[in-house]
Chain A
């Protein structure tokens, strides 16, 4: 596609439920990133995928968070047993490779946990 797309654009869920957020990177981009933007905060790095290498999960805030990337393209971020503090905008970005290339961001998924 022309840019990074994410779905859904908005997700409202109840505390304790699991949610899945999807990211479609720019075609041909080998690197994919997930960030979280909480209200009034900057962006917080969550996880990074590069090709077939093991992902950098150093930013995941707890073991309730996981992500996978299938076929080197689409990625899914899963949050289990959601908590109210998980409410944020989850942004996905991709870059041509994982070194110095510019990261292009999707529009984000706004997650609200009631």
Chain B
């Protein structure tokens, strides 16, 4: 079945890079997404990658996709306190419209 897994917690120092990892099981996944959730807020789409790509960069964000290992990562360069949030990895399986989410990684940024 479909499953998405993430580590639950990551702590980084302000100014360092953060790397949040995600693994998924459905090899037919077409799109993979990263969403950010700040306290009391809904989910904000950060970026996404199509399954035929292996890297996508958007300002401070870099997404890497290893389709063979079904591994997705989100790198945030120069992490700031405003980046503190929960980050959700999600996959959209081919032929389906629902997103399958991981449990989320809580990123804590400290001075």
Residues of A within 8 A of B30 (CB): 100
Distance A50 CA – B97 CA, assembled complex (angstroms) = 10
| CB-contact partner of B4 in A4, A42, A56, A105, under 8 A | A42
| CB-contact partner of B45 in A35, A45, A102, under 8 A | A102
Residues of A within 8 A of B48 (CB): 102
Whether A98 sits at the interface, judged by CB under 8 Å, is yes
Distance A37 CA – B43 CA, assembled complex (angstroms) = 11
Q: State the 6 A-B residue pairs at the shortest beta-carbon distance, nearest first.
A: A42-B101, A45-B98, A105-B43, A43-B101, A107-B42, A105-B42
The answer to whether A40 and B103 have CB atoms under 8 Å apart is: yes
Whether A106 sits at the interface, judged by CB under 8 Å, is yes
Distance A93 CA – B90 CA, assembled complex (angstroms) = 14
The answer to whether A4 and B42 have CB atoms under 8 Å apart is: yes
> B8 to chain A: closest CB distance in Å?
8
> A71 to chain B: closest CB distance in Å?
21
With A31-B97, A42-B88, A56-B98 known as contacts, the answer to whether A104 contacts B45 (CB < 8 A) is yes
Distance A15 CA – B31 CA, assembled complex (angstroms) = 39
Residues of B within 8 A of A7 (CB): none
| CB-contact partner of B98 in A40, A48, A107, A108, under 8 A | A48
Whether A13 sits at the interface, judged by CB under 8 Å, is no
Whether A77 sits at the interface, judged by CB under 8 Å, is no
Within 8 A of A (CB), among B13-46: 30-31, 33, 35, 40-45
Within 8 A of B (CB), among A5-50: 31, 33, 35, 40-45, 48, 50
The answer to whether B97 and A56 have CB atoms under 8 Å apart is: yes
